[in-house]
Structure 1
Amino acid sequence: MRIRAITGFFFIIVMLGSLLLDHDVFGAFYLLLSSYCLWEFYGLIKKAGFKPNLTTGLLNGAFIYIVFALITYPGENDYHKLLFLLPVTLSTIFIQELFTKHTAPFTNIAYTYLGLIFTIIPFTFFHALAYVGGTFNFHYPMAFLLMLWANDTGAYLVGSKLGKTKLFERHSPKKTREGLIGGILITALAARGISQYFADVALAHWIWIGLLISCFGTTGDLIESMFKRSIDVKDSGGILPGHGGLLDRFDGLLIAAPIVYTYLYFIVNS
């Protein structure tokens, strides 16, 4: 438990530090983070006996993230033209399989694409949160992370003390409905606190964002648990002592980030 707490503390410091430095550090840090999550995903798939196109998938993942990061940067630019290269780079996943002798080539192709959708795309939306208003603003991604952690903490504390009714027992036996409600309430309190310092949107919007993070963050956690159970593994990796892999730490972001970005986009730009 002590190792878990120490690891979590330093990891939070590093993540928040990446937000507070500048937009280049922020973009580069989450490029590395998303790439490592994709690498973990492919590693789990390989343990299950399949053979995703590791190198091609990682290169495409980095390219997708970089292209959308450049597009979100403020000011007039022509980076959106790079989107026309994506069909070319993504087609290499199919083409590469022509030169292999795998018995299930389309299974490998499907898992390669699934990795990009499951890990890289959510991180592109999370990165875009900082630019949802047109200029770099660390308030939105920082608030997202704070509420995501508040939800995890609230769900754990309430669930461990009061949890009785299972939420999705076949996928995550420890999660309870009481824990879900506790996570929502703690996240709402965090949203109220955030609104005192970040006045970018009204309190009501912060609370709605917190509700979205609680609901869809929990959904992402359950989906990752379903994925790990389907291939019979406990943790996605061991890079974080006491916590498992990076994919385990960011499962709540995978579904919530695109949803929250969409909500904020229409609120901020209305």
Structure 2
Amino acid sequence: MKTRAITGFFFIAVVIGAILLGDISFVLFFSILAAWSTYEFYTLVSSELIKPLKILGVGSAVVFSGLVSTYFLGYLEGKFILLGLPFLSLTFILPLFQKRELPFNDISYTLSGLLYAAFPFVFFIALGFISGVYNPFLPLGYLIILWSNDTGAYLAGRSFGKRKLFERISPNKTWEGFIGGLILAAVVALNLHQYFGSISKIHWVCIALIISTFGTLGDLVESMLKRSLNVKDSGKILPGHGGLLDRFDGLLISTPLVYLFLIFV
């Protein structure tokens, strides 16, 4: 428990620091997370029947996050982001030169790693520049709401949890926990408007609802992945916490939807 608390404290400090130190530290840090999470996914799913193209997949994550970051920093025109597309084509071409019995298993899992573990971080990077210039308060507020939801769900579930939410996937999650997380996230969102501004009060609350709902589903998706592979943690990079996918499971599903919401409103 002590190891878990110490790891959590320092990791949160590093994440917040990377956001607040400026646009370069922000895009660099979350680009690294995108690449490492992709590698973690490939390591997790690898077996005799499944051999993702790790180097190509992780390289693609680096290229896409790098191109998007460079665009938002103002050093690249938007059309150059399309230069990442040939890497996706290579995912289909390289297996032609490998002697694998089920090559499309490898192709599918390579693309799944990018879609599931890398691209959500690219959307998170984009969240910091959604107003046209770097605004650290939107990604920071997003994470505060996400962490608040997790805390509220844990406390409410532990105190009042009776009705199982998805017992087949995660026996410990309850409807009471889900509602508790949603309420705390909404309350925190109202306060974020007071201190962070950036968007209206109702928009902060809407973001909290999206994060609570789809963050919880993201947690369940990652639990489904680990259960199907019969593993406890996605990795060991964070002592006491597991891997990056374990810590950012809620972000992976909810971030693209939060970005989509903000683009339209």
Scaled by the length of structure 2, the TM-score of the pair is 0.96
* Corresponding residue for residue 36 of structure 1: 36
Please say if residues 49 and 105 of structure 2, whose CA atoms lie closer than 8 Å, have aligned partners that are also in contact: no
Q: Distance in 1 between matches of 2:52 and 2:194?
A: 46
CA 1:20 to 1:83, structure 2 compared with 1: closer, same or farther past 3 Å? closer
* Corresponding residue for residue 108 of structure 1: 106
Where does the alignment leave 5 or more consecutive residues of structure 2 unmatched? none
Q: Distance in 1 between matches of 2:200 and 2:87?
A: 42
Alignment of 1:86-125 (within 5 A): 86-125=84-123
Tell which deviates more after alignment, 173-182 or 84-93. Answer: 84-93
Structure 2 residue identity aligned to 1:172? S
Aligned pair 1:71/2:71, yes or no? Answer: yes
Q: Distance in 1 between matches of 2:201 and 2:120?
A: 25
Q: CA deviation at 1:78?
A: 4.7
Please say if residues 133 and 265 of structure 1, whose CA atoms lie closer than 8 Å, have aligned partners that are also in contact: no
* Corresponding residue for residue 85 of structure 1: 83
* Corresponding residue for residue 195 of structure 2: 197
Q: CA deviation at 1:248?
A: 0.4
CA-to-aligned-CA distance 1:207-226 (integer Å, 9 cap, x gap): 11111110010011111111
Q: Distance in 1 between matches of 2:76 and 2:147?
A: 37
The runs of 4+ residues in structure 1 deviating greater than 3 Å are none
Scaled by the length of structure 1, the TM-score of the pair is 0.95
* Corresponding residue for residue 210 of structure 1: 208
Q: Quick one: percent identity of the two aligned structures?
A: 48
Q: CA deviation at 1:266?
A: 2.3
Q: Distance in 1 between matches of 2:173 and 2:119?
A: 26
* Corresponding residue for residue 246 of structure 1: 244
Q: Distance in 1 between matches of 2:48 and 2:152?
A: 33
Where does the alignment leave 5 or more consecutive residues of structure 1 unmatched? none
Counterpart secondary structure, 1:175:
strand
Q: CA deviation at 1:16?
A: 0.2
* Corresponding residue for residue 50 of structure 1: 50
CA 1:258 to 1:185, structure 2 compared with 1: closer, same or farther past 3 Å? same
Structure 2 residue identity aligned to 1:21? L
